[in-house]
Amino acid sequence: MKFTFDFMKYRHFALLFSGALLLASIISLSVQGLNLGLDFTGGTLLEVQYEKAQPVEQISSALEAAGYKDVTVQTFGSETDILMRMSEAFRADLGNEVLQVLQQVDASNQLTLMRSEFVGANVGEELRDQGGLALLMALGVVMIYVAARFQFKFSVGSVAALFHDVLITLGVFSLFQLEFDLTVLAALLAVIGYSLNDTIVVADRIRENFRTMRHSDAAEIMNNAINKTLDRTLMTSFTTILVLLALLFVGGELIHNFAMALTVGIVIGTYSSIYVAATLLMALNLTREDLIPPEIEEEIDDRP
Amino acid sequence: MLNKYPLWKNLLILFVLALAAVYAAPNLYPPDPAIQVTPAQAGAEMSQSVVSNVNEILQQNGIDVLADEVNGSTALVRLTSSEHQLAAKDLVQRELGDDYIVALNLAPTTPDWLLSMGAGPMTLGLDLSGGVHFLMEVDMEDYMAGRIKNYREELRTRLREEGIKYRRVVVEGNHIDVHFVDAAVRDEADSFLSREYPEFLREDLDENDRYLVRLSVTEQKIKELEDYALKQNLTTLRNRVNELGVAEPLVQRQGRNRIVVELPGVQDTAEAKKILGKAANLEFRLEAEPGASRITTEEYPFRSDEFRTARLQKTVITTGDSVTNAQPSFDENGMPQVNIDLDSKGGAIMAQVTRKAIKRRMAVLFVERKPKTIYEMVDGVEQPKTIQVVEKSIISLATIQSQLGSSFRITGLESAEASELALLLRAGALAAPMYFVEERTVGPSLGKENIQQGTNSVILGLALVLVLMTVYYRVFGLIANVALIANIVVLIALMSIVGATLTLPGIAGIVLTVGMAVDANVLIFSRIREELRAGRSPQQAIHEGYNRAFTTILDANLTTLIVAVILFAVGTGPVKGFAVTLSFGIITSMFTAIMLTRALTNWIYGGRRLQTLSIGGNV
């Protein structure tokens, strides 16, 4: 053992820290909500590319003057790429119409339509429901799996940790009003998978320690498990965050928010797998008896 | 001996890796821009003369042709550059006219030796390769008109059954007018209708000696009917899209009466349009009796032989949307037949009509709506314009042996005929006619940027992880690195073999896999370090490290896999692509991170007397 850090001693601080983050997330989510993307709200999105930079204000006032409703205009990745969103209903030739309006603003600045997307309101609603359902389903299935593979208290602990991760990631997206679209939802599900992965590695060690460290109390056992797996937890999180940074910086604008959700989620998930799950197990008063009789487990564990 | 793999295990690993390398290889060959020409008539052969014609057209307009090939009913003309692809398509379509469907395509350039092993590149999603986006509109007016006619027939039957004497039942625009001889009968009908038909708004219109009830369908019922029609069409479209064999199609409702079809990776709109645009419907009609008036009958050609015709009654018994199922099978004598199931309404009408028509013949009429391009002069410029034409042909004409119900069969067919008829009957189950209102082919230029950025992030992410692993775990880090690269190759091979579609989030999934796949090795290596610290010999440490980490790896990967499967089940389009790469990545990493690294470790360290291991961490 290189060094041992008494994680359990600071678990009350961790509880406070998590509590504060959760509270902030819930407040932000209930006050300003999520900046839902086109996938969920429905509407129209157009991406155009100008030859040279064009002031965003000019574009949006031109579009409003032309009678388009709820127009938001923003640059997308570079100054010459413009993304427009409006609550305009679908029309086959909307793209060309908007192009004409925009070309009139500055005839000398050539522009091309890169992409246009139209999502109906019904579709958005459907996707929203499906997305929420998927998240709940993932949590539910995971809970059952962990309960079957480990023990009920472990499953409560790990699912609580997952809730914690998802809620705080959502909180970050709400606080900074980052766009929440289908890919971000996918990222959240991946965070669930990833964070659970971490939690399970720690849980595996806790279970093993309960068997091998016969004379230690629960806090000691958890400390030992966290310390023994810390090297691995940090290393894996580090490699994952490295590749996510690569995605964030060179992956392009379309998956920027996706990479962002994963990065936030994995940072929080790493913290939670160290603290939240184990703290909750302490709170749930996990004892050696919970994991005994281990005879059946023993067999499975010894499998090469 | 400790830490020695038997020869067969090493060979197996080598074999899998070699196989993966072969099946991943086609992705290294970029596809050629091409245009694809298919005859609009299903099943027609493509002739070499048409191909020469296309070549000539292109050469006359200064577009270079790389190669051409004819494959059954499809001709593929490869171009040297993607710049002229669109222009070439328009030119050829214009020259060949509506008898041929011309589409953009990306022709794979996989070498023959790879093709002969069944290898091919991954399909790229709409966001990477571009792809096809269709918007189809359901003709609700036509559909509602059909419903109202159905109601008229039904009302006639029901009123007669109830013994309520009406003078006539007529359709007036969106209403049905039921005329009666006096107010008493009308009142009786009123109470019957209010009881049995809550979906109608009733209005009594009495003038002089006219007593009539005007019925109009309520808004709510109209919405309900339209919803039903759209859902039915969606289902049918999904089935047709499945026929196309597209990996991740998107068939989605858009608004009240439109359906979006997105076919990522497929740039041959030709096949897609042909199958989606069949826009077929069916009508069951009785053959006209000899000497019947020309006003009540119509003559139609047979689908299989356009010179053979039959005269049918104008009255439609029921249409394709009441067909719930149609299956080819064999009768008790082993002769091919088609079993047809109708919904209860269709069945009731069928029973009523056929009771009085035994020994007469009944025809199944195939109704196709085809877009036709005409060129008209607008401001002195010739502009293409698309109009809809309706074509009807007979697909079956069979004698009614006994009264038919909601389940009956058509016999006296040949085997191939039976299966085609069944297919047409099922494919014809569109509740309402549908046509294209928009077709958008997303050009490859947009996707190229995404591919570039995606590839860059994979390379950068991979490089960072490789460096980190080497620094942290030394020789073992290098072993993990070999496994990591092998993992990407195996992953790409697996995706290519199952024909999965790669999307931008899918690439992100690969990047994430790179970060997460080393997890298994990190688990193993930190366990080995721990065992060394506990004072075990290097050989024992390796053995114990791999053994003890195994359950943890399995548990951790299984849970991620569960989440990925859920993601796949509920996700659409690009998100599904992410789920696919993520779950495949997990599976392949189990092989490379455990089996392959173990083999390498054994090869480097196994069966030798060792003092130390190069695994970093001061051990």
**Closest CA of chain A from B445, distance in Å:** 9
Burial B157-185 (b: 16+ CB within 10 A, else e): eebeeeebebeebeeeeebbbbebeeeeb
User: What is the rounded distance in angstroms from the CA atom of residue B228 to the CA atom of residue A228?
Assistant: 60
Name every residue whose Cβ is closer than 8 Å to that of residue B288 and which is 6 or more positions away in sequence: B296, B297, B311, B312, B313
- B528 inside 8 A of chain A by CB: no
The structure's pTM equals 0.69
- Tens digits of residue pLDDT in A29-43: 999 999 888 778 777
Give the number of beta-carbon pairs within 8 Å between A and B.
Answer: 202
Q: What crossing angle do the helices spanning A182-212 and A121-149 adopt, rounded to 10°?
A: 10
The chain-wide mean pLDDT, for chain A, equals 82
pLDDT for residue B277: 62
The more confident residue out of B182 and B491 is B491
Name every residue whose Cβ is closer than 8 Å to that of residue A78 and which is 6 or more positions away in sequence: none
User: What is the rounded distance in angstroms from the CA atom of residue B598 to the CA atom of residue B444?
Assistant: 42
**Is residue B271 pLDDT above 70, yes or no?**
no
CB contact under 8 A, B442 and A115: yes
> If residue B298 lies in a helix (H) or strand (E), which one and from where to where?
strand B297-301
- A65 inside 8 A of chain B by CB: no
pLDDT band at A298 (very low <50, low <70, confident <90, very high): very low
ipTM (interface pTM): 0.84
**Weakest-pLDDT range from A5-19, A33-47, B275-289, B545-559:** B275-289
pLDDT for residue A297: 46
CB atoms under 10 Å from CB of A285, counted, come to 9
Using CB atoms within 10 Å of the CB of residue B459, give its burial: 0 to 12 exposed, 13 to 18 middle, 19+ buried.
Answer: middle
- B560 inside 8 A of chain A by CB: yes
Range ranked top by mean pLDDT from A26-35, A267-276, B602-611:
A26-35
**Is residue B269 pLDDT above 80, yes or no?**
no
**Is residue A303 pLDDT above 50, yes or no?**
no
pLDDT for residue B542: 92
User: What is the rounded distance in angstroms from the CA atom of residue B462 to the CA atom of residue B257?
Assistant: 47
pLDDT for residue A302: 47
- A141 inside 8 A of chain B by CB: yes
* DSSP-derived secondary structure for B239-289: HHHHHHT-SS-EEEEETTTEEEEEEET---HHHHHHHHTT-EEEEEEEBPP
User: What is the rounded distance in angstroms from the CA atom of residue B611 to the CA atom of residue B537?
Assistant: 8
What's at A186, amino acid-wise?
A: A
CB contact under 8 A, A194 and B560: yes
What residues form DSSP beta bridges with B387?
B372
Prior bond of B538 cis (ω within 30°): no
pLDDT for residue B482: 95
Q: What is the mean pLDDT of residues B288-293?
A: 83
CA closest to A304 among chain B residues = B547
**Is residue B412 pLDDT above 60, yes or no?**
yes
Q: Rounded to the nearest 5°, which phi and psi values hold at A62?
A: -65, -40
* Chain A residues close to B543, C-beta within 8 Å: none
CB contact under 8 A, A236 and B437: no
pLDDT band at A2 (very low <50, low <70, confident <90, very high): very low
Q: What is the mean pLDDT of residues A73-96?
A: 74
**Closest CA of chain B from A285, distance in Å:** 23
CB atoms under 10 Å from CB of B339, counted, come to 17
Q: What is the mean pLDDT of residues A240-269?
A: 91
Q: What is the mean pLDDT of residues A89-111?
A: 74
**Is residue B229 pLDDT above 90, yes or no?**
no
What residues form DSSP beta bridges with A75?
A82
Of the candidates A11, A65, A2, the residue with the CA atom closest to the CA atom of residue A223: A11
**Closest CA of chain A from B96, distance in Å:** 26
pLDDT for residue B40: 62
pLDDT for residue A8: 77
pLDDT for residue A1: 43
- Tens digits of residue pLDDT in A234-245: 999 999 999 999
**Closest CA of chain B from A16, distance in Å:** 28
Q: What is the mean pLDDT of residues B280-309?
A: 84
β-strands A35-36, A179-180 pairing? parallel
pLDDT for residue A259: 93
pLDDT for residue B367: 80
Of all residues in chain B, what percent carry a pLDDT higher than 70? 86
- Tens digits of residue pLDDT in B93-115: 788 876 777 766 777 888 888 88
pLDDT for residue A151: 83
- B467 inside 8 A of chain A by CB: no
CB contact under 8 A, B523 and A122: no
**Is residue B286 pLDDT above 70, yes or no?**
yes
Q: What is the mean pLDDT of residues B318-328?
A: 75
- Tens digits of residue pLDDT in B420-467: 777 677 665 666 777 666 555 565 566 778 888 899 999 999 999 999
**Is residue B310 pLDDT above 80, yes or no?**
yes
pLDDT band at B369 (very low <50, low <70, confident <90, very high): low
Of the candidates A152, A88, A147, A96, the residue with the CA atom closest to the CA atom of residue A121: A88
- A21 inside 8 A of chain B by CB: no
Centroid of chain to Cα A178: 12
Range ranked top by mean pLDDT from A91-105, A216-230, B4-18, B378-392:
B4-18
- DSSP reduced 3-state for B429: coil
User: What is the rounded distance in angstroms from the CA atom of residue A238 to the CA atom of residue B515?
Assistant: 8
Query: 3-state SS of B323-369?
Result: EEEEEEEECCCCCEEEEEEECHHHHHHHHHHHHCCCCCEEEEEEEEE
**Is residue B50 pLDDT above 70, yes or no?**
yes
User: What is the rounded distance in angstroms from the CA atom of residue A11 to the CA atom of residue A6?
Assistant: 9
**Is residue B80 pLDDT above 50, yes or no?**
yes
What's at B392, amino acid-wise?
A: K
Q: Rounded to the nearest 5°, which phi and psi values hold at B316?
A: -95, 125
**Is residue B162 pLDDT above 70, yes or no?**
yes
User: What is the rounded distance in angstroms from the CA atom of residue A261 to the CA atom of residue A166?
Assistant: 10
**Weakest-pLDDT range from A6-10, B171-175, B529-533:** A6-10
Supply B245's token pair. Answer: 């064999």
**Is residue B470 pLDDT above 90, yes or no?**
yes
**Closest CA of chain B from A174, distance in Å:** 21
pLDDT for residue A299: 46
- Tens digits of residue pLDDT in B122-142: 877 777 866 677 777 788 887
- DSSP reduced 3-state for A91: coil
**Weakest-pLDDT range from B58-62, B433-437, B589-593:** B433-437
pLDDT band at B593 (very low <50, low <70, confident <90, very high): very high
Query: Is B469 within 8 Å of B515 (Cβ atoms)?
Result: no
CB contact under 8 A, A90 and B258: yes
Q: What is the mean pLDDT of residues A37-65?
A: 82
What's at B67, amino acid-wise?
A: A
Q: Select the residue of A122, A130, A245 nearest B253 (Cβ to Cβ).
A: A122
pLDDT band at A89 (very low <50, low <70, confident <90, very high): low
* Chain B residues close to A185, C-beta within 8 Å: 575
What order of strands is seen across the sheet that includes strand B65-71? B65-71, B74-79, B32-39, B100-107
**Is residue A294 pLDDT above 50, yes or no?**
no
- DSSP reduced 3-state for B297: strand
CB atoms under 10 Å from CB of A282, counted, come to 15
**Is residue A286 pLDDT above 80, yes or no?**
no
Centroid of chain to Cα A183: 10
Q: Select the residue of B468, B546, B563 nearest A242 (Cβ to Cβ).
A: B468
Query: Is B134 within 8 Å of B261 (Cβ atoms)?
Result: yes
- DSSP reduced 3-state for A87: coil
User: What is the rounded distance in angstroms from the CA atom of residue A258 to the CA atom of residue B439?
Assistant: 29
